[in-house]
Amino acid sequence: MPRPLIHVTCPCCQSTLKIDAEMQAVVSHEEPVKPAPIEDLAAEVAKLKGAAGRREEAFQKSFAAEKNHGQLLNRKFDELFKQAKENPEFGKKSRDIDLD
> Could you list the pLDDT tens digit for every one of the 100 residues in the chain?
567 888 999 888 889 999 888 878 888 889 988 887 878 888 888 888 888 889 999 999 999 888 888 888 899 999 888 888 888 787 777 777 767 6
Question: Where do the H-state alpha helices sit in the chain?
Answer: 41-86
Q: Which of 97, 24, 82, 17 is nearest to 8 (CA)?
A: 17
Read off the pTM.
Answer: 0.37
